[in-house]
Structures are given as C-alpha cells and as structure tokens.
Structure 1
C-alpha cells in the first residue's frame, strides 16, 4: 500500500500572518454591515418613499416597457432583470418586494398590477414562475419625467448600468402607502394615508410654507388603512404627527345581525391592518376550546372575491352580542395596536419625521423635480428653435443654398460655406445638410413658422416658471390636484376619538335569568316576554292572533312543547325571540315559527306548552278518544324529546295545559256538542308511560274537539260553532254561539256531559269549540278578527249565522288569573289537529298556516 506524503513548501515560500485587533475588526465590519442595511435595504427615502429594491423594481419594469397598457409578463422575468442589472441580492427578497407592491391590502395605492395569486393577509403568494406583473397606473406617476433630467443617476453595482438615486414621484408615496422595515439599531413603521387628504395637505403647505401642524391635520386627520376598520385613540396619532412616534388602536368593523331566525351574530366585514381572517378564526377557536371565551355557537368564514371579507360569528342564545363583541376586541386580533415610527432617509441620514417634516421634504423634492424638468424642457425647445431658425433661413434662400452645396467639394466645405454665407452656426448648417429636399417646400415653411411661434411661447412659459418661485409652486400644486382627482378614493378607515380611560364592561355577558312568559300563538309562532306580568284584555284588537299557551318561566329556563302525538320536546326559553315590552296587548309578529325549534312528523301538530316545573302539579292532557291524563312532572333531564302519554291506535292529543290548582276544571267538548267539566282533583296523576284514564263518555262516532283547563272562580265563556260534517274543511262559516261557562253544571269524570249547542237543519257536528276566561275573541286562520254573536242566555240554544270562518278563539288572562292557557283543537275530517287558543294578540305579519306538517288550517 502506497503511503501518502505531503511535499515540503518551496524555499521561496514566505508565510504571511497579519496580526489584527479583533475588537477593531468586529467594530469595522459591523459598522459596514449596519451601513449597508440602513442605506441599501431597510429604510425608505423620504422623498419618494421607496426602499432601494422597490425603486429598482419600478425602474427596471419601466425600462422593460411593462406599462399598464401592455400585457403582463412572468414575475420571474422581472425579478431576474432586477437582480442581474441593479440589485445583487437574493431573488426571494426581490420577489417579496414585488408582491407587496401589488397587494391591495398592504398598499393604499398599489404600484404593481399583479395577475395571479399574490397572497392574502394569511397566505403566502404563489411562486414567481406562476404569477405575472406589470406596472400599475399609479406607478407611472412615480417614473414619469424620469428621462427629462429630473433626478440624478448613479452607476449600478458593477458600473455597467445606471440607476436613479430617487424617483420623480408625482404623489407623496411615503405617506400614502406607508412602509415598514427593520434596520440595525433602528426600524421604521409608517401607516398608509388617503391620497386625497395628503395631497390637500401638501398643496396647503405649498401655498403657506409656514403652516402649523394643526393646519395640516385639518386635511390629514389620521391614517387611512387599506383594509378599512376603525382607529380609536387620535391622541396617539397626533403624537406621531408631531414627533414621529405614537400609537393607536385598530378595530375590526363589525355589525350585529339576525343571521338566523333564532340567533343573532356578529358579522365582521373589515379587519385591522395586517390582520387576516384565518388568524382571527384560529384565535377564537383557541379561546373557545380553552373556555376563556363564552357565548359563541359557531364561526364561519364566508369571505370570497365578490363580497370581500365576511366572518360570521354566531352568538349563543342567552348571551348579549355587544358584550361578546367587547370580549372579542379584548382577547383576539380583532383589535390591534399600531406603533408609528416615522424613520426615513433625509439627505442620506436616518431621521424621525413628523407630518409637517414629511410633507416639507416631499414638497421640496417635487419643486426641485419640476424645476429641473422645466429647465430640461426649455433647453430642448431652445435647441429645436435654433434648428428651426436655420431651416427658415435655408427656405428663404433655397436657390443660394443649393448653389453653395453644389459648388462645394465635400460636405465639410459645404457646411463651412453655409456658415459663412448665411451666418449660421455649425449645428444649423449640419442640420440643413441632413434635411431631405422634400422637407424644403412652401408648405414646410408654414409649418416651421407655426412651430417657431409655438416654441417661442413654450420657452417664455417655462422661463416664467423658472424665474418665479410662486409660479413654480402653482404648477406643482396644480399637478398634485390633478393626481388626486384621477387616483383619489374615499376614506376607508373610520376615526374615533378615545377618552383614554380603561375599558370596562358596561353590560353583562349573559342574559339575566329574569321571570318571563313563553307564548305560543294559533298561527304557530313562539316568543317570550320580558317579564312575567299577567296578560290582560287591553286595547282595541283590530288585528290580532290568539294564544294556544302562555306559561310562566324564566329567561334561562326550559319549556316543553306538547304535540298531538303525545311527545314533549324540550326548548330553551332563551332561544325564543323577545316581544317588545311596550306592546299592549303584546304582538307576536316578531315571533318565530315552531318549525324552527322542533321537527314534526307528518300529521303531527303542536297543542300546547308545559313549564317543566318539577314542583308543579304537572300537565293535563285530553285526547280525541276521550282519555284524560295528569302527568307526574318527573321529566328526564338528559333527554330533549320524550313521550308524556301512551296513545291508543288512532288517538291523538287535542289539548294540553299546565295545572295551577287541583280546584280548576278539566273541560271536554265533543263533536256532538256535549260539554263535560269536573275538578282536576278527580284525576289521579300518572307517570309518563301511562295511557291515562277515561275522561269523557263518547256516543257513536263522536270525538273530542276541545280539552282545556278553566278556573271556575273567574268569569268564563264557552264558544261553539256548528256545521255540516259533509262539507269540505274551511268552506263553511257555520253557526256560532257564545254561552256563560257557569250555565254548564259540573259532573263526574267519564260521564257524558251536557249539551252545549242545539243543531239546526243542515248542522250535525261542531266545527270548533272553546272554553276560557271572558271576554271571548275570535280570529280567522290568518289572525284577522272575526265578530262573535251576542251571548246567549241558555247553554243549549242554537247558534247564529257567522259572517266569516273562525280559525281560533281566545280570551283574556287578566290580573290575578292563571298564566297558563289551554289550547283548543278541532279535529278535521282528515284527522289533523290545528291550533286554537285563549288570548288575542296582534298578528298583522304572522304566517298563514299553523306549525303542522300536513298544512292543515286552524278551525275547519
């Protein structure tokens, strides 16, 4: 095996070791690095508001001809051109700058028109090979007049190209678009502003150079963020405008809406600057999972490119949306703090600038740009005028000019002889020799005279601008006004003054557990009141609905909905909409249909409400086949849907009501006009699985059409409507009768009762029946009032012809009376059980049908 050896160094090799001081070398290297970062990367120039990479991007795209009226090109092509010619750094940094210049949520006035996925506040943009770009219309304001010697140029990094040291910048880009950057030992963070407001302030400063900060803040009251939102705390904004540093709070723009018929929600349409919806969603989910934020039921991000930002935060019933919103502001990025640090380069030196200094630097820069542009344009016009004068001399002496040229040996001699003969300059003589003969016509003479006149006027105008500072300021001000008119947009951010006091919760987070009434109307609407005051027969009910049930409960309690199939469905009271407390009588037009709270089977209808009070006497039920049951209130706490009675085949529940006393009467009214009343104490309470006991004896094919609870101590009425069993449901008006409840004697349970109405010719069945506290009121199926006949003195008399079909009947629940009401139900030939009730309420906007799934109409 060969052994590897190291050759000795040559004899003339001299080892060179340089001793240096490490601290000195570190200090020097760090200072050079810091200088490079501050001046070549992180801080913008106060004149055009651009960092070096941004300036190079706009200049390179302008040189490439990527103007707004041209097509887009691949972003990678732009990045490659910038990196190869002007910016010797990584392509990632250049592309990040291109992306920011194109993002409308980052720039108040974007300078790059991007095509493709340029990202969002939460997501990264697509790779540069997938996106395209060109200059935006506003970017042309930054590069216009760049070829008119308006700014200085310097060599690029390798000396083969040149680049502008600053852009002409026809609008105050630094204030309009803001910037952010982290240098070494310093940083900058500037908020965007509204173009129209900034231009107005700049024009005011041009007109009055000694304007104060208060004068300028009349035009620029505060930042105008691209994402809108609300700024709270203008004292911090003033501090920033005065000293260059200050803070303010940004809040999301939110509104509380009724997002579903049952629930309210907070809709977020604008977020603070640099805050994305995914960040807000993630924070809310984290807080909800950690149980640090209560009251939120659901959160949906419905943001799209057509409607824009839309976060829907669904609030649980029982929580106050405004209080939840305050918690969202306190705990989530829906409220953020923005720290202004106006650091920019002025004459190559980092400085912290207030609003007046920023505007002054820009105005001085713009005055210099317009002055240099005017000098350039005057110089070009003077040169052109000099040539035009020479051409005019040649045209006036065209024959002599041709003779001089033909007699000359070469062009140099011809130029010299033309200068001697016609007293021309070298430039004029050379231009005459280069001019084609076809340009030396009589028509061209007229054109040259016109051009000379125009050039003379333009030179005089430019000379006037250059010789008068006031005229120069007028030109700059007029150009700024034109820019604001063309590119200005309305303010997006709302400014709110803040008292500076710490925030405190002004309202409780949850709804207070106060007593209230839960109401069910005959048209199938559920609602609750704001207190538990008894409802009386007050006011004129020219347009009303009637109640099926009204039970006493509390705002954070539970009630049960009893259906015709013997089911009891648990519902949270706080889910029910609140009726206006000033309504007299209360209006259920703001209620919500039962179908939004429960799902009913085919042929099933709601017949009443239960309070679910474990210490109360319980529910009383009556069925179409004459069964009565008092339910022991041992309702299961872990189930939301359970049976309260076992029904026989073909039987249905026609009425359900909460008992308040065993001294109250249970009342049955049958289809063959029999009424039976007896005390509730005659019925023994049974457990939920029990099938009840005999409540009324039925003859033949008769069925129970009404079951309810009546307080015998109160003045009550009985309303019956007779008709023909062969008529189609809802097509006959029938004969109605109103009787005093005291006319009907009580009898024993399971007996046949007494006659409630005598049938006339053509009548063989009761279409509708009701018993309850006086006075009785009737409504149609749509809730419109229907007049009842006068009260008849005897219980077994016949009825009077009605004017309209009755859908439901109700009475008053006055002071001192029960707060529960029994429901009335008429069994239609198809077996459906529609809703009727006991209290008249306003229902001018309620639905036309009850909450039964088979579409039956109350009161056939």
Structure 2
C-alpha cells in the first residue's frame, strides 16, 4: 500500500494504532490480542497485521515494546505474537489521536467505526520512512531525523523553504548530493563505517541502511572467494552495537582493502528514493520538502480546530454557569408559576418568560435542552450554591477564553510553540545518526586485486586467461584491460577475457594502465 500524506500511514498501520488506542489502559497488551482486535477493521490475515506491527515497533517512535521484537540491523525476526507485548508510546498519545478532529468511516463489515486518517500533528511519514507497492506503482520514502524535521517545520512556519536530507536508524555514512529531494531519479550512496584497528585488522561498526550484518558478511565472503579482496578471517561480534572484525591476509594494505570493500561488497549500497503518497484519494509523486510543507500546514489546521473546539466548550460552560447563577440568585425555582407547572412544555414557557430580561447577555439563545439541565439539578446542590465560588470559576473560564482567542489570533506562533515543546519533550536521544559526506568515486579497476594470469598466442592471434600453455603476459584483475600491438602496425585495447581473438602476428601485449604517463610503447 501507499501511505496517506496527512498521517503518513498505510491502512494496516492506521488500524493497528487505532486498535491500540481502543485497548489502551496504560498497560502492555499481548501482540496477539492487538492483532485479533485489529482484524475487526483489517480484512486480511493475522500474519500481515503482525508483520506491520513489528515494523512499527522496531522504529521506536509510536509503540513501546516488551519482549523480543527482533533487530532490523542483524535481520533477526521477532518472537511469536503470543510472546511479545505492546502499548502506545507517550509520543503517540500526545501527537496521533484526537477523536474530536478525526473523520470516521464504517469498517469493512459495517459493525465498527474506524478513522479515515488520524489527526497526526507531526510529519510522521518523513520521520519513519515508508516502502510499499500498490497496483501499478511503488513508493520508497527515506526516514529523516526527528529533530531536523521539527526545526524544518518551524522554518516553514516562518516562511522559509526546508532542505531535508535523510537520516538512517542504522547510522553509517551517506552521500546525498544526488538526493533530488527524494523524488524519482534521485540516488543516495550509503556506506558502512569502517575503522582501521591496526595494520592487519578492520572493524565495521555501522552497516548501510537496507542491509543487515548477515547479508554484509555474506557479500564480503563472496568477494573474497572471487579474489576481489583478500582476507584471512571475518568475525561477527555484534551484540547491542554492530562489530564485524575483518582480519587481513599478510602483505595486504588496509587502505586498499577499505576501498575494495566499498567497490565490491555491500559496504556501499545505492538507494533510489521514489516518494509517492495518497493525496485527495489519488497517488501523487512529490518531493520530501513539499510533503513537509503540506504536513506543517495540516498540523497548524489541526491545532486551529482543537482551539476552536476548546473555545466552544468554554463558552458552553460559562453559558450554563451564568444560567444556573441567574436561576438560583433570582429564586426562579421558588416562583409559583414554576412550581405549579404541570409538564415540561409549561416549565419551558415559564422559564422563557422569567429569563427574558437576561437573554441579551448570553452568546446564544436559550434552548429547551438547557432548561432540562437546570430542572435536573438536585435541590441539595441549589441550596448549597456558592455565588462567590461560581464567580471565581467563571472568571477563570473567561481568562482561558481570552488565552484561546489570543492563540487563534496568533496561530502561527502557537504552532511554532507546539513544535518547540515537542522537541523539548521527545527530542532527547534522537540526534542524527548518519554522517553526511561527499564520497570520492572508487574506481573498481584500481582497487581490484590481481587475481588472474594473462597469456597470449602470438601466431594465432589470441589472448586470454585460459591459454595456459602459451606465453605469459602478466598478473591482472578481471577488471583490467589488455593493450595489443600487431606486426601490421595496428593496436587495440580489450577487456580481460577467457579467450579473445585480437589479430594474428602479435608483436607486443601488456596490461594496459589508463592515464599512465610513464610507459611508452
């Protein structure tokens, strides 16, 4: 599926979070129970819900996890759902939910209500990243740094355009010079962090995003088997932190080996982003900066809705408090006409007449439902009514209304304060993990080891690695090129191959070094 631009969630993720909120009592719930409850909303198998839930949990933002939830760095899978537990994080409870600003729809069987989108007041899609396939299209959104997203949102509210670059949870080094704002055609080169412990030992301490320690080790062993690199031994000491130790063969340069690891193994991978989101019920290909701008504007709109709802609640409380105060202070409950009223319609008629002099001071007309609330007040609370306390409460409500009106008038400043408080409350420990660099291009031919021998047959005009009975040219790598001069005065350059015809009567053949200013033929 493809995530929605407003909450950054796919349908299964939205339903899992809604289900967790429905079950939330502050304690952990068995993942199997959450999956079962989510199936009320998600008409698919329990395995797909479980996998999606583990992916959310591993991102350490929306769900607090208990038990073995696996490790995306090592590729270890989570324990079965009956053994692991989950609950919503404090961040999710603060940022993701508000039933008053949520648009609802019927679930697939019409028995329940589920959110169309969740009112997320944060650029969740860009923080978590997303990968998915829908009918006829795919999406690949890179994860970005929590603190940088908040800072960029504040800059947008100040009228500036952001410039986001990805930050991967696995760390490593990244060259984002061709990121293209996360749109199609962009490219990110991501590298492992490799340290030289001594002249014979290298240590990989961070792996590139989208790889695991297992797949990285397999790629190193494969490169060694093919003769691309030469190592003596590789050890995986990964526990809480990544540590892959590579022991080099005697006489091998650590610097050349590091370059060769980037050239021939998964120590360097290339990622092609393709940012696609659902907007107005259609897929849209957008830049990450435009998505952040939309998300920030949407957050400000949600904050406005919350303020307007709060203002309406405060006005209603003042309205009823004033109504009650007038009703008691003026002794309306002791009025003979009121006491002798036989039914509700008669009561409404009497109270309308009694309240007539006071109606101009109310912000809206008095409705029969308001009189119903007055009538339902027990006599004990009427006789114990404290005018001074009621005035203090109304004064407090009036002050709160002034504050809400001030926030509505200065909505952008209020939204900026919201983001600043988010950063102060949840930003600790979410600093950038991926180091941004511009990589030099590693020429594979320059770092490849001489792992094959080259031969030639002068008379028949063949060169190649399988002509072992013929004349030896030299050691080379399978990425090198051969230069051949013939007796007719012509020369040619060809790739190293098993056997290739270059023309009869070879005069001279050698390993060809590009840009070599010393050799004269």
Aligned to 2:181: 240
* Structural mapping, 1:70-149, within 5 Å: 70-84=26-40, 86-103=41-58, 107=59, 109-121=60-72, 122-144=75-97, 146-148=98-100
Aligned to 1:160, what secondary structure does the other structure show?
coil
What is the alpha-carbon distance in structure 1 between the residues aligned to residue 335 and residue 167 of structure 2?
A: 68
Q: Which has the larger radius of gyration?
A: 1
Aligned to 2:177, what secondary structure does the other structure show?
helix
Cα drift, residue 229 of structure 1: 0.5
The unaligned stretches of length 5 or more in structure 1 are 1-41, 511-860
Q: Is contact 1:387–1:427 with CA below 8 Å preserved after alignment?
A: no
Shift of the 406–399 alpha-carbon distance from structure 1 to 2, 3 Å rule, reads same
Aligned to 2:16: 57
Cα drift, residue 441 of structure 1: 5.5
What is the alpha-carbon distance in structure 2 between the residues aligned to residue 244 and residue 379 of structure 1?
A: 46
Aligned to 2:90, what secondary structure does the other structure show?
coil
Identify which of 190, 194, 210 aligns with 1:254. Answer: 194
Q: Which has the higher contact order (CA 8 A, sep 6+)?
A: 2
Aligned to 2:171: 228
Aligned to 1:482: 421
* Structural mapping, 1:278-317, within 5 Å: 278-294=214-230, 296-305=231-240, 308-317=241-250
Aligned to 1:345: 278
Shift of the 201–352 alpha-carbon distance from structure 1 to 2, 3 Å rule, reads same
Aligned to 2:20, what secondary structure does the other structure show?
helix
Aligned to 1:30: none
Aligned to 2:156: 205
Aligned to 2:102: 151
Cα drift, residue 52 of structure 1: 1.0
Q: Deviations over 1:126-161 (max 9, x none)?
A: 2212221111222224433x122x232112112222
Q: Is contact 2:234–2:246 with CA below 8 Å preserved after alignment?
A: yes
Does structure 1 residue 389 correspond to structure 2 residue 322? yes
Does structure 1 residue 358 correspond to structure 2 residue 291? yes
Q: Is contact 1:60–1:81 with CA below 8 Å preserved after alignment?
A: yes
Shift of the 64–508 alpha-carbon distance from structure 1 to 2, 3 Å rule, reads closer
Q: TM-score, normalised by structure 1?
A: 0.48
Identify which of 250, 271, 274 aligns with 2:210. Answer: 274
Identify which of 387, 400, 406 aligns with 1:445. Answer: 387
What is the alpha-carbon distance in structure 1 between the residues aligned to residue 397 and residue 33 of structure 2?
A: 42
Cα drift, residue 374 of structure 1: 1.9
Shift of the 389–189 alpha-carbon distance from structure 1 to 2, 3 Å rule, reads same
Cα drift, residue 332 of structure 1: 1.7
Q: Deviations over 1:743-774 (max 9, x none)?
A: xxxxxxxxxxxxxxxxxxxxxxxxxxxxxxxx
Does structure 1 residue 164 correspond to structure 2 residue 106? no
The unaligned stretches of length 5 or more in structure 2 are 357-365, 451-521
Aligned to 2:469: none
Aligned to 1:533: none
Cα drift, residue 315 of structure 1: 2.1
Aligned to 1:46, what secondary structure does the other structure show?
coil
Cα drift, residue 395 of structure 1: 3.0
Q: TM-score, normalised by structure 2?
A: 0.78
What is the alpha-carbon distance in structure 1 between the residues aligned to residue 254 and residue 52 of structure 2?
A: 41
Cα drift, residue 110 of structure 1: 2.5
* Higher mean displacement: 283-292 or 111-120: 283-292
- How many residues are paired up? 437
Cα drift, residue 460 of structure 1: 3.4
What is the alpha-carbon distance in structure 1 between the residues aligned to residue 249 and residue 130 of structure 2?
A: 41
What is the alpha-carbon distance in structure 2 between the residues aligned to residue 253 and residue 436 of structure 1?
A: 73
